[in-house]
Amino acid sequence: MKNLIYPDWMRPLKILLAGAFVSASILTPVSGQVWANSHNNKIATAIETLKQSDQRWIQIDLSKQNLIAWEGSKPVYAITISSGKRSTPTRVGTFKIQTKLKKTRMQGRGYNVPNVPHTMYYQGGYAIHGAYWHNRFGTPVSHGCVNLAPNHAKWVFEWADVGTPVVIKK
């Protein structure tokens, strides 16, 4: 994990306290790094909380292009995925499975795919689903969804319920 305190954020401050000078540092945020670190902390906290439970949950690591199905602190299934490409990234955060569809049509700018298998929507149009139209797992190629090979998508679909937490990190 990266150090959360960056030297360029710090401004020295000397305070007279009970007759003695005390040196302190004040953090002054620059750019979006404070938000990013706060967001990363929330994700890390969610992961630790889920690992201390006996709950089923899904972790997606975009940097490793993998999905791990967990039962509390025990990983029960791990697979390679394809997440969103740079121009259409997969969102990072904590979500819950909202809807499950055995098959659905997905369409948007530049794509119209019928019979997308084992689709689990977790936020708006973002979903974990099977992808029969490519075999480039391990490479970000989607329009923001999390693509799985159809046989793996079926396993995850049957294992997870509506309400299952989904944690997506970089």
Residues taking part in catalysis: 129, 145
For residues 88 and 143, give the distance between their C-alpha atoms in angstroms, rounded to a whole number: 5
Q: Are strands 10-17 and 66-71 parallel, antiparallel or unpaired?
A: unpaired
Give the DSSP per-residue string, 21-84: EEEEEEE---TTHHHHHHHHHHHHHHHHHHHTS--EEEEEETTTTEEEEEETTEEEEEEE-B-B
113 φ/ψ sector (left φ>0, alpha ψ -120 to 50, else beta): beta
The region, left, alpha or beta by phi > 0 then psi within -120 to 50, assigned to residue 144 is left
Would you say how long the chain is, in residues? 170
Q: How many beta carbons lie within 10 A of that of residue 127, not counting itself? A: 25
